[in-house]
Structure formats: C-alpha cells, structure tokens
C-alpha cells in the first residue's frame, strides 16, 4: 500500500482512502471516498499513476491508506463472481455524454463485449464512435465500470490504460474467448 496524509478534495468531496490489493493480474489499487464510492482504480501500486486518472479539480492531493469497501468485490471478482464488481458504487465526473457512456459500460454483462461502434449506438449516438472510445479512455474506476469489455470496431482488443495483457486476462476470466483477438 502507498500512503500519504489526509486532505479534502477541491470539489468538497470528503477525504479519500486508498488500498492496494494483490491480484492474479498484479497489484490493484482502489481510491474510494468516505461514502464507499470508487473514484479511481487500476492495476498499479503507483499512487501518482492512479490519481492522474482523475481531473485535477476532483483529485485529492493526499489520501489515507486503509481498507476500502470495494476490496470484497475485488476478491469476489477474482474468485469467479465477476458481477459483484458491478454492484460497487462509483463516482465519476463528466459531461452528459460521458455519464451516459459510463452507464452503458456498466450494463455490459460479463462474458460479452461491445465494439466502440456498438457502445456509441447504446449511448444513443451511433455516429460518435470516437466519443465512445474517449468514454473508455477517461474511465477512472476500472473493473467497476468495465471498459475492458469494449473492443475496436474490427474486433481486436484495442487500447487499455492498464495494458493489453490485463485486458485479455479479464476477458478470459469473464469467459470471453479472446484467443483470436490481437
């Protein structure tokens, strides 16, 4: 775990707590507010890298290291109960378009994937494929908002903030056959 001192976030959000968990895909760090909402998460133990996923105005300068409520869902996910992660509350800040995109990501069932084109259509903006890709790229609470379930329009893996090996592993864990995916 990485630690620092306590401070209130610039937008008035109460102090955040951070915990790093060991997973088969490497260290997984969760940043959570005092209401148990995940602000950011990802496969790293680098506090700065995780905090950089948040816009400056929503980023705490310091956090408290401790136990986060989402830890149980992470353990359940890696024990094969992948949908537990979708029950974890998250807090994201963005435009109406981004908010809709993040809601649509949470609606993708484990074991299935969408393309960026299909995500754009689900967002009600079928011509906004680039915006759909941006929704995934700006998704801070990885795992809990499963942007890893979105593929390029040609069906290949595409990018993932935490690396294609992690994305492939998550999809395999969720029983999506990705052996043919690049």
The per-residue b/e assignment along 9-24, b for 16 or more CB within 10 angstroms, e otherwise, is beeebeebbbbbbebe
What is the pLDDT at residue 2? Answer: 35
Separation of alpha carbons 6 and 82, rounded Å: 32
What is the pLDDT at residue 158? Answer: 87
The closest of 21, 42, 17, 47 to 32, measured between CA atoms, is 17
Average pLDDT, the chain: 88
Considering the candidates 147, 157, 170, 171, report the single residue annotated as catalytic.
147
Listed in sequence order, the residues at least 6 apart from 17 whose beta carbon sits closer than 8 Å to its beta carbon are 31, 32, 33, 34, 63, 64, 65, 66, 67, 68
Specify the range with the lowest mean pLDDT, choosing from 22-31, 51-60, 160-169. 51-60
The closest of 179, 182, 177, 168 to 25, measured between CA atoms, is 168
What is the pLDDT at residue 179? Answer: 45
What is the pLDDT at residue 139? Answer: 97
Give CA angle at 77 (74, 80), nearest 5°: 155
**163: which 2 tokens?**
């690396």
What is the pLDDT at residue 8? Answer: 40
Q: Residues 78-106: pLDDT tens digits?
A: 999 998 999 999 999 999 999 999 999 99
What is the pLDDT at residue 5? Answer: 31
What is the pLDDT at residue 176? Answer: 58
* pTM over the 0.85 mark: yes
**141: which 2 tokens?**
């609470």
Judge whether 147 counts as a catalytic residue. Answer: yes
Is residue 141 over pLDDT 80?
yes
Using pLDDT thresholds of 50, 70 and 90, give the confidence band for residue 15.
confident
Query: Cβ–Cβ contacts within 10 Å for residue 161, how many?
Result: 19
> How much of the chain exceeds pLDDT 90, in percent?
77
Q: Is 43 left (phi over 0), alpha (psi -120 to 50) or beta?
A: beta
């Amino acid at each position: 775990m990485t630690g620092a001192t306590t401070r209130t976030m610039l937008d008035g959000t109460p102090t955040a707590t951070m915990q790093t968990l060991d997973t088969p895909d490497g260290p997984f760090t969760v940043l959570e507010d005092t209401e148990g909402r995940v602000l950011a998460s990802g496969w790293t133990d680098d506090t700065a890298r995780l905090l950089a996923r948040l816009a400056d105005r929503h980023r705490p300068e310091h956090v408290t290291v401790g136990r986060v409520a989402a830890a149980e869902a992470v353990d359940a996910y890696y024990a094969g109960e992948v949908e537990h992660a979708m029950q974890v509350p998250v807090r994201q800040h963005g435009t109406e378009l981004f908010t809709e995109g993040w809601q649509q990501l949470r609606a993708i069932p484990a074991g299935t994937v969408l393309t960026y084109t299909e995500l754009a259509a689900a967002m009600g903006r079928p011509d906004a494929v680039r915006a759909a890709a941006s929704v995934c790229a700006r998704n801070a609470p990885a795992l809990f908002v499963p942007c890893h379930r979105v593929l390029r329009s040609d069906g290949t893996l595409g990018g993932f903030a935490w690396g294609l090996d992690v994305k492939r592993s998550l999809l395999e864990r969720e029983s999506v056959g990705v052996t043919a995916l690049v």
